[in-house]
Amino acid sequence: MQERGQLVRQELTSELRSLQWLLAPELGRYGDAFNVGASDGIGRKTEAPWVRFCSSEMSPKPTDGYYVVIHFKRNGSGLYLTLGCGSTNWNGGSLIPLKPDQLARKTEMARKAIEYEHGILEDFTDIIDLGAEAPLPKTFEKATAIAKFISVDQIYDQDFEALLSKLAAYLRTVYDAQSSGFDLTEADQVQLEIEQTIRPKKQINSAQGFGLSAPEKKAVELRAMKIVTEWLDNNGYSTKDQSSTQPYDILAQKNGEKIFVEVKGTTSQDPSAILMTANEVDLHKQNKGKTALAIVSSINLVKGSEPTAGGGELYIESGWDIDDWSLTPTAFRVEKPKPKNS
């Protein structure tokens, strides 16, 4: 065990650090925080030794963010080159442990981001099975998005530099998607931006690097409005953009009936939670049966000097009853009392 610990924590980490010249550039702007770490475990954890590299900005700890990991089979028959994620996520202001279904959704988000930019993943389509019995290795398996198995007798036939370089490029893609909020609901995206604005010195580990600029937000908003307007047009409605003057975004009319449409656009792949203003909530409560909610999720944002947005998946509910959804107060306007007349 001592020999394996030296191999994992010292020799392999040293090998990965020696490849920083190759891997850090593939990480793009995240490469400045290139970091290597390893664990040989304690007690039963010795079933699952691992070595990883990542951006320490995007993944300060193994429980946070995404990273490239080398996992080893328990029986010593081979290893897996993988891209995976931590077991916690930022939600509602704090880090929470991920349930199995949440972990599955998070790894699926990473695969979608990689496939959208890089196409079919021919080299990394293996199913990871570490052959371990302890709970921790099972969590590692669930937290793996893509993997390639290399048996012991194949090791000397592999171009590890090329494979790790490809994984680093995939990781950059996932980081770009993560910084656009693909693994946060629209509600959490907005809450996080508020948190970072009012408490800029507080670092929220699993959301490092997140935050859209004003032009990026505008690109996402315009993409959502375009998709919703086209859907309404195709379904026989006339439309008018009211987003700049009213507490709703689109006035839709058909056969003399008016519908007030709320449009939410997000880079998130999870449309289950949105943030609304008090005026927006009041509108939907007072006009039940005459409003609609339209959420365009999974919008692909291309950052740059002139950001653009494409794609998007539409969820629309006409005759929306806001009371069917749970409303949670997340902020209050607090004002000091006016001076009393003397």
Q: Please say whether the structural domain 2-179 has been given the CATH code 3.10.28.
A: no
Strand order in the sheet with 34-39: 34-39, 50-55, 66-72, 78-85, 144-151
Q: Can you give the residue ranges of every domain in the chain?
A: 2-179, 212-324
Q: Which residues of 26-64 are buried (b: 16+ CB within 10 A; e: fewer)?
A: bbbebeebbbbbbbbbeeeebbbbbbbbbbbbbbbebbb
Same-fold call for 2-179 versus 212-324:
no
Distance CA 294, CA 215 (A): 22
Dihedral of CA atoms 139, 102, 90, 141 in degrees, nearest 10, equals 20
Report which of 291, 308, 277, 299 is spatially closest to residue 224, judged by C-alpha positions: 299
Interior angle at CA 82, CA 142 and CA 148, nearest 5: 105
Let me know: does 31 contact 11? Beta carbons within 8 Å.
no
Residue type, 158: Q
Give, in order, the Cα–Cα distances in Å from 206 to each of 61, 74, 82, 97. 9, 29, 19, 12
pLDDT digits (tens, 9 = 90+) for 120-167: 888 999 999 998 887 777 888 999 999 999 999 999 999 999 999 999
Which two structure tokens, joined as six digits, stand for 131? Answer: 């052959």
Report which of 141, 8, 148, 162 is spatially closest to residue 85, judged by C-alpha positions: 141
Q: Element (H or E) spanning 88, and its range? A: strand 88-91
Which two structure tokens, joined as six digits, stand for 159? Answer: 């171009």
Q: Give the number of other CB atoms < 10 A from CB of residue 136.
A: 15
pLDDT digits (tens, 9 = 90+) for 275-303: 999 999 999 999 999 999 999 999 988 88
Report which of 99, 267, 117, 264 is spatially closest to residue 183, judged by C-alpha positions: 267
End-to-end Cα separation, the chain, in angstroms = 80
Report which of 34, 36, 45 is spatially closest to residue 5, judged by C-alpha positions: 45
Give, in order, the Cα–Cα distances in Å from 210 to each of 41, 102, 235. 31, 20, 36
Strand order in the sheet with 308-318: 238-241, 250-254, 257-265, 291-302, 308-318
CATH: 3.30.460, 3.30.1490, 3.40.1350, 3.30.2010. Which one for 212-324? 3.40.1350
**DSSP-assigned letters across all residues of 218-281:** HHHHHHHHHHHHHHHHHTT-EEEE-TTTSSSSEEEEETTEEEEEEEEE-S-S-TT-----HHHH
Burial of 235 (0-12, 13-18, 19+ CB in 10 A): exposed
Let me know: does 163 contact 77? Beta carbons within 8 Å.
no
User: What share of the chain has pLDDT > 70, as a percent?
Assistant: 88
Q: Give the number of other CB atoms < 10 A from CB of residue 82.
A: 25
State the 10-residue block means of pLDDT for the chain, 342 residues long: 54 91 96 90 62 93 90 90 83 66 87 88 92 82 95 93 97 91 83 73 54 90 97 97 95 95 92 92 95 94 88 94 91 85 64
> Which 8-state DSSP code applies to residue 11?
I
